[in-house]
């Protein structure tokens, strides 16, 4: 049985503060997505030993990869991690404390080469050995910043690593562990974020559509609470007439692209959040039905202290026959249903208490 190999630990910094200060459900979904992005970025055949809350213990038996190959793996995981965070921050519907602070999470990577082996407990494979302990102890060090790549001397062929990028600068330090002092080198990774090109398109073209229903109502509530009430699919069955339940199709973090199955009394439909625009006094977002391509446009406008006007418009595809059929058979019923739904919102918003807005 092989007893030497690479230990590779990406660790999400800020996780403990993030969990302690934020809503647990959105925290769970955000961390889950970030950990999945790290696992899916594995390109050098690393095995997952276990997920340790805010970190993943990867390993690979055999000779260590070249430092350049290791860097390419670190870069890919780091960039995927921050691409996911930035994209979510730009597309999110949510202003709870968890979603507000997610963009501040950081990633560090510990890489170490040493002795360890596997043992089996029931259906679980675990790693054991002094270097497993060393790798974990290296997570606690004297490096002030929290976005870095740490490499122990066993992975460095010379006295210190060579710079692989123009921005890269190595520093050295040591950590006193249970097995003695361990020398390591580290380089900051924050410069990689400046190279990320992330374009977020969140517009819907309504030029080929016609507005069939439009209703407005003013509510005595702040704009963010009203936004959560209307935009979060979890609340939909509590205010929208005819909607019995909403089933998530993917992780139900509130953002552009989220999809759900809407169970209505007259059938089912898959809808997705198709656009979003925000400023402190106005929020706009749309939802599109996958099959019919009908679009519901929501406009929230701040009209005074703790007052917000909501306008909901329903658009269908421009088509003479389709428009005539909708006007004759559906418009009056849809308008009456929507009017009752907007009355239901007035009751529901009184129950919504957002931690980010408390106090």
pLDDT > 50? residue 358: no
Q: How confident is the model at residue 20 (pLDDT cuts 50, 70, 90)?
A: low
Residue 79 has a pLDDT of: 95
Q: How confident is the model at residue 199 (pLDDT cuts 50, 70, 90)?
A: low
Gap between the Cα atoms of 292 and 317, Å rounded:
8
Give the angle 353-101-97 at the CA atoms, nearest 5°. 5
* Prediction pTM value: 0.76
Per mean pLDDT, which of 171-175, 260-264, 276-280, 308-312 is the most reliable? 308-312
Report which of residues 88 and 341 the model is more confident about. 341
Domains 4-195 and 209-357 share a fold: no
* 338 in Cβ contact with 215 (< 8 Å): yes
- Can you read off the two tokens belonging to residue 229? 């009430």
Q: How confident is the model at residue 47 (pLDDT cuts 50, 70, 90)?
A: very high
Which CATH number applies to 209-357: 3.40.50.300, 3.30.70.1400, 3.20.10.10, 3.30.530.20?
A: 3.30.530.20
Q: How confident is the model at residue 110 (pLDDT cuts 50, 70, 90)?
A: very high
Mean pLDDT (the chain) is: 89
| 298-349: pLDDT as tens digits | 999 999 999 999 999 999 999 999 999 999 999 999 999 999 999 999 999 9
Cα torsion through 102, 103, 108, 109, rounded to 10: 80
Q: What CATH code would you report for 4-195? A: 3.30.70.1230
* 228 in Cβ contact with 352 (< 8 Å): yes
pLDDT > 50? residue 48: yes
Domain ranges (residues) in the chain: 4-195, 209-357
Helix (H) or strand (E) holding 10: strand 4-13
Residue 357 has a pLDDT of: 44
pLDDT > 80? residue 295: yes
- Can you read off the two tokens belonging to residue 69? 């190959």
Gap between the Cα atoms of 40 and 12, Å rounded:
16
pLDDT > 80? residue 356: no
| 57-74: pLDDT as tens digits | 999 999 999 999 999 999
């Amino acid at each position: 049985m092989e007893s030497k190999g690479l230990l590779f630990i990406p660790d999400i910094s800020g996780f403990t503060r993030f969990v302690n200060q934020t809503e647990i459900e959105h925290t769970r979904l955000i961390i889950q997505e970030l950990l999945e992005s790290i696992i899916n970025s594995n390109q050098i055949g690393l095995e997952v030993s276990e997920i340790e809350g805010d970190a993943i213990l990867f390993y690979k038996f055999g000779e260590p990869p070249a430092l350049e190959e290791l860097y390419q793996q670190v870069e890919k995981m780091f960039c995927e991690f921050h691409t996911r965070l930035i994209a979510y921050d730009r597309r999110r519907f949510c202003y709870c404390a968890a979603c507000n602070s997610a963009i501040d999470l950081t990633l560090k990577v510990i890489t170490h080469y040493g002795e360890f082996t596997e043992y089996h407990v029931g259906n679980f494979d675990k790693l054991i050995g002094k270097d497993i302990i060393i790798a974990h102890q290296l997570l606690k060090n004297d490096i002030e910043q929290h976005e870095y790549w740490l490499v122990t001397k066993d992975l460095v062929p010379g006295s210190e690593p060579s710079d692989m990028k123009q921005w890269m600068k190595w520093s050295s330090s040591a950590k006193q562990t249970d097995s003695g002092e361990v020398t390591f080198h580290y380089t900051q990774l924050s410069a990689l974020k400046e190279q990320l090109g992330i374009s977020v398109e969140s517009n819907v073209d309504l030029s080929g559509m016609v507005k069939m229903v439009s209703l407005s109502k003013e509510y005595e509530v702040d704009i963010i609470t009203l936004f959560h009430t209307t935009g979060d699919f979890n609340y939909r069955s509590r205010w929208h007439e005819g909607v019995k339940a909403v089933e998530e199709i993917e992780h139900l973090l509130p953002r552009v692209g989220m999809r759900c199955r809407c169970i209505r009394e007259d059938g089912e439909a898959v809808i997705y959040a198709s656009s979003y625009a925000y400023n402190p006094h106005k929020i706009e977002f749309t939802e599109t039905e996958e099959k019919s391509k009908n679009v519901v446009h929501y406009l929230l406008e701040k009209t005074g202290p703790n007052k917000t006007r909501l306008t909901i418009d329903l658009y269908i595809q421009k088509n003479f026959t389709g428009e005539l059929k909708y006007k004759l058979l559906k418009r009056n019923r849809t308008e009456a249903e929507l009017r009752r739904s907007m009355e239901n919102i007035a009751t529901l918003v009184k129950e919504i208490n957002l931690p980010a807005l408390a106090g």
